[in-house]
Structure 1
Amino acid sequence: MATPKHVKFCTHQKVGILLIFSVGFGFFLQSSSSSEETRCESSSNSNNSYCGFRKYIMESYFEKYDSLLEPNFQNFIVDELLFNTCKLLPDNLNHLLRVSVPWRHLIGEGSHRHISSTIRFHMQPDSMSQLRAHFCKVIIIERLPTGVFADPFELQHLLKRGVFTDVAVFGDTNLELPSVLSNQSAVEIHMNVAPTSLLGHISELEISADLPLHARYPPLDDSGYSEVEFGEPEMFLRCSMEENGDHESCLLMPTNDRTGSRTDKVVWRIPSGIRAHAGIVSAVTFLAASISTLLIVLTSIFYSDSKLCNNLKES
């Protein structure tokens, strides 16, 4: 029969063996992860892959920058995106693929509206057939001005309905802040593209993107309106390429075709308080609050007196 000391020793021995296996397995996973990162970084540095970036382009951007300033974003495109191109892309890529935004409008009224865009890709069928793309997705990056925001929860509902393949909001995601206290945010949208669309069967590919937006509380303005101006979205194509058995994820940046894009600006005029009326509104609000407080106090006193009188009569 085993003694208590022997049982205790066996228990400790089993625990020790489990700990040794756990630590060894953890080191194995860490070394595997490190080797994967090393392979990815070396491949990225040699311009052979796009694996140096995350699932979302803006996720990589905000790992390096804190805000959506125009110089920072353009530097990111030139230094990071253009530099990390894969070897399977042809040299005349800029002439193969062009993009334009022929239609871009705000839909709806009030403080909840949609910005709807029609994006058209122009391709040379004979040249695009050289890409051997097995799977592609369109990436749209909407850099929103400070006066509006996109609700991440609302976008998740659209994602579940299959409107987008992937979607995420980056930057200032605080939905309660007014315009004067908020910063810019960006929405990155992914939409799948049929492989036959990029293999020479058609010369144009047109997609539509409808993004729901909400207006923030604007600052006071003499005109009674605060104008928010939208710029053009950034468009990319991320394709899974194959050549000689090698698979790579390549990012294509089409040339912007200004001749096919709309020239007028998209402006959202959001109603705001008039600066000259601020004093009157403050005075009326203070007066209404004072009268309401006085009525509450008088009602409480009257109710207490009437209750006291009823108690005296009953006694």
Structure 2
Amino acid sequence: MAVGCTKLKYHFPFAVRGFADVQATCQDVTVTQELLKEGFHRDLLVKVELGVVGEDARGCTVAARTRLPPGIYVDPYEVASLQQHNLTQAVLIPDVIDVEAPEYLATDLLVLLYMEPDPQCSRCFSAALPVHGRYHRPAEDSEEALVVLKSPEVLVCCCDNHLSAECWKPAEVAAPCSGKTVGPCQWYGVMHKRVYEESILQVPVGLRQHSSLVCVVTLLATVFCSSLILAAVCKYGHFSPVTCSD
């Protein structure tokens, strides 16, 4: 006697809804970044609002990890000076940067920017970092080159707090929990929504059809300035004979 099998379908509306609620809670974290000023020398302003998950991160160190493309760089000497005056805290990877290299000879730069709490918002953090545009190759028909900065990651480092495993995941970051301390620690990253997916830096560039004119003007200016210096030395310089003794 054949026995028929009936397929049963189970629905878990509460489980699915619970998972969606957890995802919504994690996505409550928002990140915004903005490029201030104009020209080659700018300030990168990053703001983070932890939202509901900020309850887990109280007393923790909050940082933003961002990768800068070759078209933009950070001056390590400038950052060191700012850190001495407690104006910013950042870790640069690599820490040796050729600030004179053009865009086509430079590499990416990873920056871990420590954030300061907002006194008017218990779950809000912000930090600013001076950045500089690199020189680009002359273009054919455009007087601007576009450098795209993607949205940074949000990281926290906690000593005693227990972070929610649903939102916070271990992250591989070889940096101390504070810019003033030494030694690595365990960082955690969180899923978040980006107010703006990316920022765009517009860098002025020259046009290739102007290359000959620029070379000629530069050569003439160099010859003219050198002639003025030589004339001044000959007119106002004091020359004394030098005797050689055996």
Query: 1:168 is matched with which residue: 86, 91, 96?
Result: 91
Tell me by how many angstroms 1:153 deviates.
2.4
Q: How does 1:61-100 map to 2 (within 5 A)?
A: 97-98=26-27, 99-100=29-30
Distance 2:87 2:227 in 1: 54
Deviations 1:103-127 (A, max 9, x none): 42211122211111221112258xx
Does residue 149 (structure 1) correspond to residue 73 (structure 2)? The answer is yes
Instruction: State the Cα RMSD in Å.
Output: 3.5
**How far 1:159 moved relative to its partner?**
2.5
Gaps of 5+ in 1: 1-91, 195-201, 244-248, 308-315
- Structure 1 residues 137 and 124: alpha-carbon distance in aligned structure 2, compared to 1, 3 A threshold: closer
Q: Percent identity?
A: 25
Are 1:214 and 2:150 counterparts? no
| CA spacing shift, 1:109–1:283, aligned 2, 3 Å | same
Task: Tell me the SS of whatever aligns to 1:110.
Answer: coil
- Name the CA distance, whole Å, in 2 between partners of 1:139 and 1:124: 15
Aligned-partner Cα distance in 1 for 2:82–2:205:
30
Partner of 1:225: 144
Contact 2:102–2:135 (8 Å) recurs in 1? yes
Distance change in 2, residues 1:284/1:118 (3 Å): same
Q: What is the rounded CA distance, in whole Å, between the counterparts of 1:242 and 1:107 in structure 2? A: 35
- In structure 1, give the amino acid aligned to 2:214: V
Q: Counterparts of 1:93 and 1:241 in 2: how far apart (Å)? A: 23
Q: Sort the Cα spacing of 1:153 and 1:94 in 2 relative to 1 into closer, same or farther, 3 A.
A: farther
Q: What's the CA shift for 1:184? A: 1.2
SS in 2 for 1:188: strand
Change (3 A) 1:97 1:192: farther
**Which sections of structure 2, spanning at least 5 residues, go unmatched?**
1-20, 163-184, 240-246
- 1:113 and 2:113 equivalent? no
| CA spacing shift, 1:268–1:193, aligned 2, 3 Å | closer
State the Cα deviation string for residues 222-268 of structure 1 (Å, max 9, x = none): 3122211111011111111368xxxxx6533211225xx225x4111
Structure 1 pair 160–233 and aligned structure 2 pair: CA distance change class (3 A): same
Q: Classify the secondary structure of the residue corresponding to 2:160.
A: strand
Residue pair 2:65, 2:152 contacting (<8 A) in 1 also: yes
CA distance in 2, matches of 1:233, 1:110: 22
> Which residue number corresponds to residue 222 of structure 2?
289
What secondary structure, in the 3-state scheme, does the structure 1 residue paired with 2:34 have? Answer: strand
Q: Distance in 1 between matches of 2:73 and 2:129?
A: 10
Taking the aligned partners of 1:291 and 1:252, their CA distance within structure 2 comes to 60
Quote how far apart the aligned CAs of 1:293 are.
Answer: 5.2
Map 1:1-315 onto structure 2 (within 5 A). 97-98=26-27, 99-101=29-31, 103-123=32-52, 128=55, 135-164=59-88, 166-171=89-94, 173-191=97-115, 205-222=123-140, 223-241=142-160, 250-258=186-194, 261-263=195-197, 265-291=198-224, 299=231
Measured after TM superposition, the shift of residue 163 of structure 1 is 3.8
* Count of residue correspondences: 190
For residues 134 and 111 of structure 1, the distance between their equivalents in structure 2, rounded to whole angstroms, comes to: 37
* CA displacement, residues 206-237 of structure 1 (integer Å, 9 cap, x when unaligned): 21221111122222123122211111011111
Bigger Cα Rg: 1
Tell me by how many angstroms 1:161 deviates.
3.4
- By how many angstroms is 1:276 displaced? 1.0
Contact 2:62/2:125 (<8 A) preserved: no
Q: Aligned equivalents of 1:291 and 1:242: distance in 2?
A: 68
C-alpha spacing 1:159/1:294, structure 2 compared with 1 (3 Å): closer
Q: Are the equivalent residues in 2 in contact too, given 1:134–1:240 (CA < 8 A)? A: no
**Deviation digits for residues 66-124 of structure 1 (CA, Å, limit 9, x no counterpart):** xxxxxxxxxxxxxxxxxxxxxxxxxx9866544222x4221112221111122111225
More helix by share: 1
Matched AA of 1:139: A
- Cα 1:167–1:179 change in 2 (3 A) is same
Corresponding letter in the other structure for 2:91: A
